Amino acid sequence: MNNAIIQFPTPQNEPVKAYLAGSPERAALDAELERQYNTVLDIPIIIGGKEIRTGDTGKVVCPHEHGHVLATFHKAGEKEVRMAIDAAMEAHRTWSRTPWTTRAAIVLKCAELLATKYRPIMNAACMLGQSKNIYQAEIDSACETIDFFRYNVHYASKIYGMQPKDGAGNINHTEFRPLEGFILAVTPFNFTSIASNLCMTPVLMGNVALWKPSTTATLSNYYLMQLYKEAGLPDGVINFLPGSGALIGEIATSSKWFSGIHFTGSTATFNSLWKQAGEKLGSYVGYPRIVGETGGKDFIFVHPSADVKAVATAAFCGAFEFQGQKCSAASRMYIPKSLWGPVLDIMKKYASEVKIGDVRDASNFINAVIDEASWDKCNSYISYAEQSPDARIVLGGGRDKSKGYFVEPTVIETTDPHFKSMEEEIFGPVLTVYPYDDDKVAETVKLCDETSPYGLTGAVFGRDRMAVEKISEDLRYAAGNFYINDKPTGAVVGLQPFGGARASGTDDKAGGEFNLIRWVIPRVIKETLVSPTDYRYSYMK
Ligand code: NAD
């Protein structure tokens, strides 16, 4: 048995490559885009390392060209979910007892492979399947995914090193046991890095998983499975189950060995999974760990002392990058009336410069929203605003789904701080702005705090630092990730661990050590060196 005490120091964040025309990374990416665009993959279910094809299939298309099929995928039914539970529990026997440094070595190999050979593969799949431009794919399916791998190994080494003191005549230590059953990882379409992290964090801590990928991210998620296999992850540790979330969730939560959910997606889906688990409480081997990051209605609050150009840039990038489909995307803004005109002028200028279209044309800043349901949702909110006396469209508003699911960067201005799109999550490139009287800062901060049930991200802009401090304090529970003079998106692993409370989730902070602790059940062992042999207290003798 290797007896080295191995420590993994804080890693560096993976540098974001520039992809300038003519660069080696650009050439590799372009070649891979060409290959994947001209291939139709047949994506199997993967259980215990075996590929299974049920013949019940769905299609993966390019959101920006929905007539173009990238892959068909096979859907898991009840039988496959039960097989996956058996395969996971079989893998649990060895994986949960594998030295953690061996598990860490596999995870670190994932990082190395992704930083090199798999970088163009993952970025191309994410661009084509999830409609991200080069930069948005690079920061997600390459850099953030790599950072999760490396930082989590570092955090794991810190956790395993957290040991109690020895007492008089006894030795104490904590064994961080993996959970006794399997984890159900249910992942969203919008970040490949989150899809990877929801499985790999529990797995690093010695757990096994059933993975329900998002239908619209099946392509990149399938390539992740290939990456894990090449890095040496044993069969059955992660079982890949595309298919109906409702079905997979129902069967997985019915198993005695269901030990936890690691979820990111909408609040409604998380609530339904939590309820399913709650109803069956008592039938499980232990209390399941329920960890979820869910919806948001992320805000920018502008103080009258704010810098106009900084606000306009943050609002534009924070609301419209990746078509507003980041959970952290700005979707409501409170701004003093005196600043709104100049800020809107700058946003209009930016909008006149950006292009919308296919991800393979690098000059496009905006691509498509993920699918028809998402487009329809954006359309319904924009139509509602067009017809409302309390609102008007002051930027964009164009939308067209004939070839791809395109929605222009759109700004709705409203006189009603409780306007529908000030309160409800849209998850598209639609920002609603409420201009307020400059002397009503305190009242408007209260509105911002109380308007939405969510508490994910928020930003405050202002040059008056004391005023900013007061606003930050008053919005203490309005966001789990709070930004001062910066857009509310772009959290970086290790620097700004991410997550929110209220209706936005359990705030277990992906990208920090708190999350890892949810995937272990500690056992504390006391060893007495010389056991007592007399029951009497000393004064009784
Ligand atoms: P979604 O809830 O529609 O889907 C998430 C996953 O749940 C998918 O894999 C889906 O197939 C599955 N699912 C759907 N219905 C299910 C059911 N009844 N039972 C079990 N599983 C089911 O969310 P989405 O559209 O993929 O992602 C967008 C949402 O995710 C937004 O609300 C966004 O705010 C949120 N999000 C939050 C964070 C965060 O960190 N808080 C990060 C990313 C995305």
- Domain region containing 64: 24-294+505-524
CATH number where 303 lies: 3.40.309.10
* 395 lies in some domain: yes
Q: Are residues 345 and 391 in the same domain?
A: yes
How many domains does the chain fold into?
A: 2
CA distance 274 to 260: 10
What is the chain's length? 541
Is residue 499 a part of any domain in this protein? Answer: no
Is residue 150 in a domain?
yes
How many angstroms is it from 123 CA to the middle of ligand 1?
A: 21
Q: Tell whether ligand 1 has an atom less than 6 A from the beta carbon of residue 273.
A: yes
Judgement on whether residues 139 and 196 belong to the same structural domain of the protein: yes
Statement to judge: residues 311 and 281 lie in one domain: no
Q: Indicate if the pLDDT at residue 1 is higher than 90.
A: no
Amino acid at 340: W
pLDDT at residue 50, as a whole number:
98
Q: Are residues 113 and 140 in the same domain?
A: yes
Q: Is there a single domain that holds both residue 290 and residue 437?
A: no
Mean pLDDT computed over 510-533: 97
- Confirm whether 498 is domain-assigned: no
pLDDT of residue 2 exceeding 90, the answer is no
Same structural domain for residues 303 and 277?
no
* Residue 511 · residue 11 · CB < 8 Å: no
Q: Are residues 218 and 145 in the same domain?
A: yes
64-102 residue pLDDT tens: 999 999 999 999 999 999 999 999 999 999 999 999 999
Same structural domain, 475 and 512:
no
Same domain, 118 and 60: yes
In a domain, 267, yes or no: yes
Average pLDDT over residues 132-137: 98
Question: In terms of C-beta density within 10 A (0-12 exposed, 13-18 middle, 19 or more buried), how is residue 161 classed?
Answer: exposed
**What is the value of pTM for the model shown?**
0.97
Ligand 1 site-directed mutation target among 75, 148, 186, most atoms within 8 Å of CB: 186
Annotated catalytic residues are 293, 327
Q: Same domain for 339 and 469?
A: yes
pLDDT averaged over every residue in the chain: 98
Residue 475 has pLDDT above 80, yes or no: yes
Nearest atom (ligand 1) to Cα of 499: 40
Q: Does the beta carbon of 186 sit less than 6 angstroms from any atom of ligand 1?
A: yes
pLDDT digits (tens, 9 = 90+) for 205-234: 999 999 999 999 999 999 999 999 999 999
Show the DSSP H helices in 280-403 as ranges: 308-320, 337-353, 372-387
Please state the atom number of ligand 1 nearest to the C-alpha of residue 327.
34
Q: Is the CB of 160 within 6 Å of ligand 1?
A: no
Residue 337 to residue 339: CA distance in whole angstroms:
5
Within a domain: residue 371? yes
Q: How far is 177 from 175, CA to CA, in rounded Å?
A: 6
SS3 category, 237? coil
Q: At what angle do helices 118-130 and 192-204 cross, to 10 degrees?
A: 130
Whether 284 and 312 map to the same domain: the answer is no
Q: Are 308 and 336 in contact (CB under 8 A)?
A: no
Mean pLDDT of 43-56: 98
pLDDT, tens only, 257-305: 999 999 999 999 999 999 999 999 999 999 999 999 999 999 999 999 9
Does 279 fall in a domain?
yes
Q: What is the pLDDT of residue 209?
A: 98
- Same-domain status, 329 and 274: no
Q: What pLDDT was estimated at residue 517?
A: 97
pLDDT at 11 over 90: yes
What's the confidence (pLDDT) of residue 142?
98
DSSP state of 325: -
Judge whether 19 lies within some domain.
no
Q: Residue 456: CB within 6 Å of ligand 1?
A: yes
Q: Determine the pLDDT at residue 33.
A: 98
Q: What is the CATH number of the domain that holds 175?
A: 3.40.605.10
